[in-house]
Amino acid sequence: MGKEAASAFGRWFALNDFPVNVALKAVCDLSEQVLSWYKMIPTVDLLTSDYKELLARADIDIVYVALPHNLHKEYYLEVLDAGKDLLAEKPFGIDLAAALEIQDAAERMGRFVRCSSEMPFLPGPQRVISEIQSGNLGEIIEIKAGFLHSSDLDPAKPINWKRQNKFCGEIGVMGDLGMHVLHVPLRLGWKPTQVHAQLQKIITERPDGKGGTAVCDTWNNASLHTEVDMAGNRVPMTLEMKRMAAGETNTWYIEVLGTKGGVRYSTKDTKTLWTFKCADEQVWQRMDLGFKGMVFPTITGGIFEPGFPDCFMQMLAAYVAEREGVLKDKFGCVTPEEAVASHYIFDAALSSFANNTVEKINYRTLNEEIRNK
């Protein structure tokens, strides 16, 4: 993901009239091979395997940290302590306790902190949000959202840190994909009040890459059946996070249905927005979207279709714009509060599956959780 960020900064000029310039100045990684890739970037003048060297640099304002989940808390806290602002990666700490500590430190120190989730910056999700906010849907009947991968269906795929609880976290696939799924619902104020979770460990052993096998103990798939309170209505919201979804390489989707209309978007069909109208006749209508619908205008023509590097760049632009106070009413990155809320949901999901219960989700404020202890 560090390389992905570097690629976005490298074509910052593609953003039209963007008020803030950025330059990638320094990179830290333990791997010499990874570090040497960054040698081709002219603005980078520090490549190091010692992150303290990077944090000591006075000319660095923002640090993007893309590390295995077990390292999030320690490194995020050090970045904040060093006086830097932070673009964190999801899941924003390996568990709820870590996420709360990071949120607490950011607030105490007054740093600007946001968490990564890029898919909602595509034109499709943006139109989904505006359709919902327009009131065109009437009373909301149900919400479905998900993020689906499939490469884990290959039993010969070697183990990596994301497939081991001690590095990825007890929340498994929820930590990997869940923040992406919840970004839009949480931004719309749809904070589920309860959850019934189905969690699956399907392939429990994988090649260790050294000729042997290793235990794969993370949840592969999660289906969270939640409920959102909308003006007294108990609205079902189903959230899918799967590493084993047949044929889905990186499919992010959302569908919201109401009494008067509906809206549906999936990255599987990147430029297509589906809208539903319920009148004399019931009609699903398909529309092509292009760069015209991007959050931040770019030099790319309005009819051309965007992809992953584009929404990643838009997310970085949103981070920088919000930090500078120029985001205005545009869509912003995941806030620490939203990241912590996602952890409350995942935490309740773990209890729900362990006990086969419907769990209430008890969101608490920082004061209740940490400062009043």
What does the per-residue mask of binding to ligand NAD show for 90-109, with x meaning CB under 6 A?
Answer: x-------------------
- Could you tell me how far CA 271 lies from the centroid of its own chain? 20
116 binding ligand NAD? (CB under 6 A) = yes
275, 261 contact by CB (below 8 A): yes
Nearer to ligand NAD, 93 or 262 (CB): 93
3-state secondary structure 97-158: HHHHHHHHHHHHHCCCEEECCCHHHCHHHHHHHHHHHHCCCCCEEEEEEEEECCHHHCCCCC
Q: Contact between 85 and ligand NAD (CB under 6 A)?
A: no
Q: In the bound complex, what is the minimum distance in angstroms from residue 307's beta carbon to ligand NAD?
A: 13
Q: Is residue 174 part of the contact set for ligand NAD (CB under 6 A)?
A: no
Stretch that binds ligand NAD, among 25-33, 134-142, 258-266, 351-359 (CB under 6 A): 25-33
Helical residues (DSSP H) of the chain, grouped into ranges: 2-9, 32-37, 51-55, 72-81, 96-109, 123-134, 165-168, 173-187, 308-323, 336-355, 366
Placement of tokens 């608490």 in the chain: 364
The residue whose two tokens read 């499919």 is 251
Among 85, 89, 131, 248, binds ligand NAD (CB under 6 A): 89
The smaller minimum CB distance to ligand NAD, of residues 116 and 218, is found at: 116
Part in contact with ligand NAD (CB under 6 A); list of ranges 61-69, 76-84, 240-248, 289-297 = 61-69
* Position 111 contacts ligand NAD (CB under 6 A): no
Alpha carbon of 47 to those of 21, 32, 52, 85: distances in Å? 21, 9, 12, 20
Query: 158: which strand partners?
Result: none
In angstroms, give the least distance from the CB of 187 to ligand NAD: 16
Using CB under 6 A as the binding criterion, the count of chain residues that bind ligand NAD stands at 17
Residue from 5, 24, 27, 29 in contact with ligand NAD (CB under 6 A): 29
- Whichever of 263 and 316 has its CB closer to ligand NAD, that residue is 316
User: With binding defined as CB under 6 A, does residue 176 bind ligand NAD?
Assistant: yes
Give the contact letters, 343-372, x = binds to ligand NAD (CB under 6 A), - = no.
------------------------------
72 or 323: CB nearest ligand NAD = 72
Rounded CA-CA distance 107/110 in Å is 5
Cis geometry, peptide bond prior to residue 91 (ω within 30 degrees of 0): yes
Binding part of the chain for ligand NAD, among 23-31, 128-136, 239-247, 268-276 by CB under 6 A, reads 23-31
The answer to whether residue 159 forms part of the interface with ligand NAD (CB under 6 A) is no
Tell me the C-alpha distance between 24 and 63, whole Å: 10
C-alpha 343/C-alpha 349 separation (Å) is: 9
CB atoms within 10 A of CB 104: 18
Residues comprising the chain, all counted: 373
Residue 269, C-beta contacts closer than 8 angstroms, at least 6 positions apart: none
Q: How far is the CB of 78 from ligand NAD (least distance, A)?
A: 11
Identify whether the C-beta of residue 57 lies closer than 8 Å to the C-beta of residue 26.
yes
Contact flag: residue 30 with ligand NAD (CB under 6 A): yes
User: What is the number of the residue whose Cβ is closest to ligand NAD?
Assistant: 89
| Beta carbon of residue 73, minimum distance to ligand NAD (angstroms, whole number) | 12
Q: CB of residue 66 vs ligand NAD: minimum separation in angstroms?
A: 4
Give residue 373's Cα distance to chain centre.
30
Exactly one of 1, 283, 299, 326 binds ligand NAD (CB under 6 A); which one? 1
Among 28, 122, 128, 222, binds ligand NAD (CB under 6 A): 28
* Angle, alpha carbons 338-344-349 (nearest 5°): 130
Please identify, using beta-carbon distances, which residue of 179 and 228 lies nearer to ligand NAD.
179
Binding site for ligand NAD (CB under 6 A): 1, 28-31, 34, 51, 66-69, 71, 89-90, 116, 118, 176
